[in-house]
Amino acid sequence: MSLRALVVCLGNICRSPIGEELLRQHAHRAGLSLYVDSAGTSGWHQGEPPDSRSVQIMSLHGFDISKQKSRALNREDLQLFDFILVMDRQNLKDVKSLGVGRAKVSLFIENSDVPDPYYGGNNGFQLVYEMLDQAAAEWINSWSNLHD
Q: Which position among 14, 15, 37, 88 bears the catalytic label? A: 15
Q: Does residue 37 carry a catalytic annotation?
A: no
Q: Does residue 14 carry a catalytic annotation?
A: no
- Whole-angstrom distance, CA of residue 80 vs CA of residue 89: 22
End-to-end CA distance of the chain: 13
CB atoms within 10 A of CB 58: 22
Q: Does residue 9 carry a catalytic annotation?
A: yes
Q: Which position among 9, 24, 37, 53 bears the catalytic label? A: 9
Strands 3-9 vs 34-40: parallel, antiparallel or unpaired: parallel
Q: Which position among 51, 77, 88, 116 bears the catalytic label? A: 116
Task: Tell me which residues are annotated as active site.
Answer: 9, 15, 116
